Amino acid sequence: MSEKIERRENIEEALAASLKELVLREPFEKITIKQITDGAGVIRVTFYNHFQDKYDLLGWIIRTEILAPVRILIDNRMFKEAIVLIFSGLQKDKAFYTAAVRIGGQNSFSEIARQCIYELLLALFTEQARRSHPKHPWLTPEYMAQYYAQSMNFVVMNWIREGMPIPPEEMGSIYEYMATRSMSDVLEEL
C-alpha cells in the first residue's frame, strides 16, 4: 500500500474515531466539524478533503466498518454468515450504534444505513443481472436492492433500538427465516 493511501486511510479512521467518541457524549446534531477535527488532530480543511459533512463521515463508518467486511461473504453467497457478521460488527460497537440510531431528521442514521445497504446490494444484483435475464421486467437490480435494503434496515434498526437483546447468530437465523419465506409460508407457520 502506498504511503499516500495509508495516510488517507489513517486520517479517515482518526476522523471516524473522533466522531464516534463525540456521539457518546452529545447529540449528533450538536457536533461540529471543528470538534471532530480537534479530536482527530487535524485542521478543518483536512476534513473537507475527505468528507462532505458529518453525515458523509457517518456513511463512511457504516460502509467501512460494517459492510466492507461482509462483501467477500456476499460474493461467495454466504448470506447468513454475512448477516451474522453485520450484527456482530454492530454489537462490537454497541454504545456508538445505540447513540447513532437516535440521529433523526432528513439525514437520519436509519436513512444513511439504508442507503449504504442499498449500494452494496445494488452492486450484487447488477452483477447477477449481467449474467442472466430476469423473469419479470420490473424485477430490476434497483428495485430488488431497494426492497432488500429496506427490509434489512428495518430489522437492524429495531434490533439496535431494543438494545441488541438477541445474539448476532440468532439474529442471522431470524433474518434468514424472514428473507427466505413468502408471506403465505409465514402465515402457515405462525
CATH topology (fold) of 1-51: Arc Repressor Mutant, subunit A (1.10.10)
Rounded-to-integer distance, Cα 126 and Cα 181, Å? 23
Q: What percent of the chain has pLDDT over 70?
A: 95
Rounded-to-integer distance, Cα 117 and Cα 86, Å? 11
Give the model confidence (pLDDT) of 134-183 as tens digits.
Answer: 677 788 999 999 999 999 999 999 999 999 999 999 999 999 999 888 88
> SS3 of 145, please?
helix
DSSP state, residue 190 = -
Rounded-to-integer distance, Cα 52 and Cα 183, Å? 41
Comparing 1-51 with 58-189, is the CATH topology the same? no
Mean pLDDT for each consecutive 10-residue tract of the chain (190 residues)?
60 97 96 97 95 97 96 91 97 97 94 96 88 79 94 96 97 92 86
pLDDT at position 132 is 77
Distance of CA 97 to the CA centre of its chain: 10
Rounded-to-integer distance, Cα 181 and Cα 145, Å? 17
Rounded-to-integer distance, Cα 62 and Cα 97, Å? 10
Q: Is 58-189 assigned to CATH 1.10.357.10?
A: yes
pLDDT at position 2 is 52
Question: Would you kindly state where each structural domain of the chain is located, as residue ranges?
Answer: 1-51, 58-189
pLDDT at position 108 is 96
Closest CA to 140 of 121, 153, 154: 121
The answer to whether the pTM exceeds 0.75 is yes
pLDDT at position 112 is 97
